[in-house]
Structure 1
Amino acid sequence: MMERLPPDRVNRTHVLWLGDAVPVGLHRHVLNLVPRAITASELNDAAPTACLLIIPVAPEIADASLRYGTLVGQARNHGLRIVLVPDRPVACDELETYLHSTNSLAVVKGVRRIGGFDDHLLDEAQRPPEGKGANRRLQLSGDVPDEDTTVLLQRAFEDASALHLHAVQGGKSGAWVWRVHWHDGGGHPMPLPLLVKVASVEKIAMERSNARHIANLIPGRCRPGVHLDRGVEGATHGLMVFDFFNNAQGFDAAICSNPAVVLASLLGTTLKHVVEAARAGHSNVAQSLRDMKAFRTSPALAAAADLAAVHVPELGSIETLDRRWRALPPSPHRVGPVHGDLHTGNLFLAPTSSEVLIIDFGSFRAIAPACADLACLEVSIVFPQGQGIRPPEIHDQIRTLYFVDDLPPAYGSSEMARLQEVIRAIRQWARTIEPDAAVLALAQAAYLIRYASYEDSGALEERALAYELAYTLLARVEAAYD
């Protein structure tokens, strides 16, 4: 059995002074805390039991950004508050110049500029620490992350003795995701794994806020529980912990086998309150989809457009596409809360029922075009992530999915027949949410463009087909608006 961690590990009672000796006057201002002088190399070891780092500022030092920049980042990763104290009287503009030279104002949150030891420093020192200190005895195995992320894990799992991490694909947001099996402080294995997500501080803060917002919209059993008490922030990245859907079935396989039942569960149970919240609105749908990053341009999109133009010369460039997109007028449409990234990778089927489970609320919007989620889902099914080159006859059949207004019922057991039945079912639901076919077509075009704009989405030929479909849909939308 692993050794139980000593209780004093998590007590953050130290105030760290960067220097050879703690100034005598500092002791009078940190009642009930213990001042401790440290060197730069000692910060990582001293930080877990500290709540505050004081850095005496010398504005005239030429390499100030090199001398203090790394320390500031380390301190923020450990959740320390930071105070910059001039080591001699300086003019305000001189201190501002120093702060800008170290990027402190742009990178570091919570920095206080204090012109000496006074009541402001006392107030800062007495504030409660920002969470637990790092659990330096935590044992990591499996897909172990870098040092900065390791510190965040040590803080988030301050009550654990060991973590085994398995990296999971994190999608397009740039987040890193791990499935984590863990042992408690006594070394006992916990029965269910957790999911850990690391992204920029801003993205984690947004997802934490979204998690609270959707609590009244989506049944708790259909979304992962969020362990808000384990959330931590560092200098540039934050960390969230979720429950993991154990033994859940992939959504793409489930919907192809029984689209009517699965969609009824998704929209009639999981997203029931989201769908019911849709209401009439009037705004620029094209701009809303751009704000959601459903429509985006990139060098990968330009490459897809170039190849598409080889097969269909009348297609325009991405510059023309972007100009025409921006020229679309506002129009009436249904608005409401949307998940914002409802692709098949964010959906699962519960292992013991037909309920659809949904994850990843980083793109949630309280008000957006109500049909956006189903347009996103449709495109992710027609163009699976990482799709290789499909035969020309499949491409021709996919074109019919977008060039026929009302898809007839599909017959047979072929892959395309199953795909057509799924898309037909999705669109039937979509039209109950958004009756205007032009608005739905615009949302479909936006997510086709998003698919084509990421190089790792699929083969270039697949992305070129998506661009062709999007451009053609846009032309139909323009005709409807004229």
Structure 2
Amino acid sequence: MADMFRGRVLWFGIAPSPEMRRELRNRRLAVTILAGAPAADQLVAACGAVFSFDASNIGPGSALARELAPALVDHGLRIEILATGDGVLGRAQKALGEVTRTRDVHARTAPEPHELPERLARHEPGPHPNTRLEIQLAGNREPISDHDIPLFQRAFYDCRKIVLSELGGGRSRARVFSVHATLENSVAGAWPQPFFVKLDSTDRIVKEAENYRSFAPFVPFGLRPSVHGCFLGATRGLLVGDFADKSEPLWDQVRRNVASLAISSLFETTLGGWREQAYAIDPVKGSVAVALEQANFCVPSQIKKSYLEYARTQDVRVTPDQLWTRIGALDQIYRKAPMHGDLHGENVRVRNGNAILIDFASVASGPLTADLAALETWFAFELPPEETRDEYENPKWRTVVDRLYAPASFLHPPDPSDPTSSYCWMVSAVRQIRRLGIAVQSCSSEYEAAVAVSLLRRCMWDDGCTADRFRRAHGYVVASRLIADLQNENGPPS
């Protein structure tokens, strides 16, 4: 589909004045007067919509705007709410409710004839949404919702078909896909390299796009996506970038016990540019836990108290608030640098030994040890897909984890695993990352504290399967043991 100019303005309510029509024509904008929902061809050709009120049409006009506004914004339109006076505008805004708080909705009273046309002309709605786009999902996955389809039609306006393969891993409500597209009328060919697509709330997509702009230049080219576009709707947004073709999740390599090269690549090369920034400034004095709370890595108030029931069976009776008070009082020194903030085995892809990031949603400034601790605990406490989901306790796994996370294992890495153990892969990954964590910490308690916070962070969710909840509950127990050890070692803050 050609990237055609979207020069139509959909007008609802009181008709525009002759002066405003002239100003619209001067900017190559054509007005279409409507009393109801626009036709598909009118919608995709439009750059904006105007709902114009006087005292006579507040009721029906606001009802129509409430019905149409989300879909108009999903298609890239800017919406203008016009009123003949301040009193009319106040009544209209009250009747419109949530519409006035929707992105790209703007309200004003009796503007000069040129003002509104100029704003609409400067708005960039993007290319015509491709309403003929064929969207297929690989595997038995949840379909794309109707109100998200216009975002895909805007992002892949020049394609005949896209095939979405959903990627897993994180705890957010975002959906992440690899996308194989078939282009329409491309001079280069039909099948470009695959894309990645992230579908999430508008605010989170905006934040992640900003993170890419700020932090991606510090990650080597080819080891992170190049973002092609950000397509925002009323409540949801779409981020589109390059996908690492012929790659696999780091999680798959870890479970095959062949991830050593990729883990080294991740921290030394892919994240190396971020981590080097820690040495451009002086170390920070304070609690690692407090720093991670400020980075929104762990929110203590969201730690689920449901895990206390299991903790009591392990002679742990301390509450989340008590644990956080204790770890937050530690007197520590740490170096600060950009951290990924949600590092796990599914948002790192591996190709030819190179680790490739595909998620920048949670990047923030934090302790240098945070990403190491987050990844280590994810590997140790995440439920592998091949293990049963409906059995609560797993004594064999618990025995291995208790050895790996004994307080003494933070003085030096834990001993190697029996090579015949079914959890040999987990021990290998934890030992490799633990060595890095101990090596880069700025005080003897830093890495142990970062691990304890990472385990408490996992307890912010309790909506997983039975086996997953057991692992998180035992993580709470392990975190309490580590915090008790840190408190004994650190003593009261000076």
TM above 0.5:
yes
More displaced stretch, 339-348 vs 414-423: 414-423
1:448 aligned residue: 455
Alignment of 1:148-163 (within 5 A): 148-163=147-162
Instruction: Supply the distance in 2 between the matched residues of 1:305 and 1:59 (Cα, whole angstroms).
Output: 59
After superposition, the Cα gap between the structure-2 partners of 1:116 and 1:422, relative to the gap in structure 1 and judged at 3 Å, is closer
After superposition, the Cα gap between the structure-2 partners of 1:161 and 1:363, relative to the gap in structure 1 and judged at 3 Å, is same
Please list the CA deviations of residues 154-207 of structure 1 after superposition, one character each: whole Å capped at 9, or x if unmatched. 111111122222333362221122222211123864143222111111111111
1:133 aligned residue: 128
2:422 aligned residue: 415
1:276 aligned residue: 276
Paired residues of 2:73 and 2:234 also in contact (CA < 8 A): yes
Instruction: Supply the distance in 2 between the matched residues of 1:244 and 1:63 (Cα, whole angstroms).
Output: 47
Q: 2:475 aligns with which of 455, 466, 474?
A: 466
Instruction: Supply the distance in 2 between the matched residues of 1:181 and 1:319 (Cα, whole angstroms).
Output: 47
2:75 aligned residue: 78
2:106 aligned residue: 111
Q: 1:431 aligns with which of 438, 461, 475?
A: 438
The code of the aligned residue for 2:6 comes to R
After superposition, the Cα gap between the structure-2 partners of 1:59 and 1:344, relative to the gap in structure 1 and judged at 3 Å, is farther
2:246 aligned residue: 247
1:179 aligned residue: 178
Q: CA deviation at 1:14?
A: 1.0
Q: CA deviation at 1:216?
A: 2.4
Secondary structure of 1:164 counterpart: strand
Secondary structure of 2:152 counterpart: helix
1:48 aligned residue: 44
Paired residues of 1:315 and 1:468 also in contact (CA < 8 A): no
Paired residues of 1:25 and 1:117 also in contact (CA < 8 A): no
Please list the CA deviations of residues 357-377 of structure 1 after superposition, one character each: whole Å capped at 9, or x if unmatched. 222011111x21111000001
Paired residues of 2:456 and 2:475 also in contact (CA < 8 A): yes
Secondary structure of 2:222 counterpart: helix
Paired residues of 2:337 and 2:368 also in contact (CA < 8 A): yes
1:26 aligned residue: 20
2:373 aligned residue: 375
Paired residues of 1:284 and 1:330 also in contact (CA < 8 A): yes
The code of the aligned residue for 1:431 comes to I
Instruction: Supply the distance in 2 between the matched residues of 1:215 and 1:461 (Cα, whole angstroms).
Output: 37
Secondary structure of 1:182 counterpart: strand
The CA RMSD measured in Å over matched residues stands at 2.7
Alignment of 1:289-308 (within 5 A): 289-296=292-299, 301-308=304-311
Q: How high is the TM-score relative to the length of structure 2?
A: 0.86
Instruction: Supply the distance in 1 between the matched residues of 2:154 and 2:427 (Cα, whole angstroms).
Output: 49
2:196 aligned residue: 195
The code of the aligned residue for 2:5 comes to N
Q: CA deviation at 1:34?
A: 1.0
Q: CA deviation at 1:390?
A: 5.5
In structure 2, the gaps of 5 or more residues are none
The code of the aligned residue for 2:318 comes to G
Paired residues of 2:8 and 2:48 also in contact (CA < 8 A): yes
Instruction: Supply the distance in 1 between the matched residues of 2:62 and 2:440 (Cα, whole angstroms).
Output: 54
Q: CA deviation at 1:275?
A: 2.2
Please list the CA deviations of residues 68-127 of structure 1 after superposition, one character each: whole Å capped at 9, or x if unmatched. 2232212211111111111x3343xx5245325422443233514141452322322332
After superposition, the Cα gap between the structure-2 partners of 1:109 and 1:437, relative to the gap in structure 1 and judged at 3 Å, is farther
1:267 aligned residue: 267
Paired residues of 1:134 and 1:154 also in contact (CA < 8 A): yes
Paired residues of 1:132 and 1:158 also in contact (CA < 8 A): yes
Secondary structure of 2:418 counterpart: coil
Paired residues of 1:296 and 1:449 also in contact (CA < 8 A): no
Please list the CA deviations of residues 130-170 of structure 1 after superposition, one character each: whole Å capped at 9, or x if unmatched. 32231122222336412221111111111112222233336
> Is 1:37 aligned to 2:43, yes or no?
no
1:95 aligned residue: 89
Q: CA deviation at 1:65?
A: 5.4
The code of the aligned residue for 1:380 comes to W
2:486 aligned residue: 477
Secondary structure of 2:129 counterpart: coil
Q: CA deviation at 1:329?
A: 5.2
After superposition, the Cα gap between the structure-2 partners of 1:318 and 1:110, relative to the gap in structure 1 and judged at 3 Å, is same
Q: CA deviation at 1:47?
A: 2.1
Instruction: Supply the distance in 2 between the matched residues of 1:272 and 1:183 (Cα, whole angstroms).
Output: 36
In structure 1, the gaps of 5 or more residues are none
After superposition, the Cα gap between the structure-2 partners of 1:117 and 1:329, relative to the gap in structure 1 and judged at 3 Å, is same
> Is 1:11 aligned to 2:13, yes or no?
no
2:64 aligned residue: 67
Q: CA deviation at 1:340?
A: 1.0
Q: CA deviation at 1:129?
A: 2.9
Structure 1 residue ranges (4+ consecutive) displaced by more than 6 angstroms after TM superposition: none
Paired residues of 1:275 and 1:433 also in contact (CA < 8 A): no
The code of the aligned residue for 2:37 comes to S
Instruction: Supply the distance in 2 between the matched residues of 1:418 and 1:158 (Cα, whole angstroms).
Output: 44
Q: CA deviation at 1:37?
A: 0.7
2:211 aligned residue: 210
Instruction: Supply the distance in 2 between the matched residues of 1:141 and 1:258 (Cα, whole angstroms).
Output: 33
Q: CA deviation at 1:241?
A: 0.9
Instruction: Supply the distance in 2 between the matched residues of 1:243 and 1:274 (Cα, whole angstroms).
Output: 21
Paired residues of 1:72 and 1:108 also in contact (CA < 8 A): no
Instruction: Supply the distance in 2 between the matched residues of 1:36 and 1:469 (Cα, whole angstroms).
Output: 65
Instruction: Supply the distance in 2 between the matched residues of 1:111 and 1:71 (Cα, whole angstroms).
Output: 15
Instruction: Supply the distance in 2 between the matched residues of 1:149 and 1:445 (Cα, whole angstroms).
Output: 38
Q: Percent identity?
A: 25
Please list the CA deviations of residues 245-302 of structure 1 after superposition, one character each: whole Å capped at 9, or x if unmatched. 2221332343462454333222222222222222322344222212344323578822
The code of the aligned residue for 2:11 comes to W
Secondary structure of 2:227 counterpart: coil
Instruction: Supply the distance in 2 between the matched residues of 1:58 and 1:417 (Cα, whole angstroms).
Output: 73
Paired residues, number: 466
Q: CA deviation at 1:323?
A: 4.3
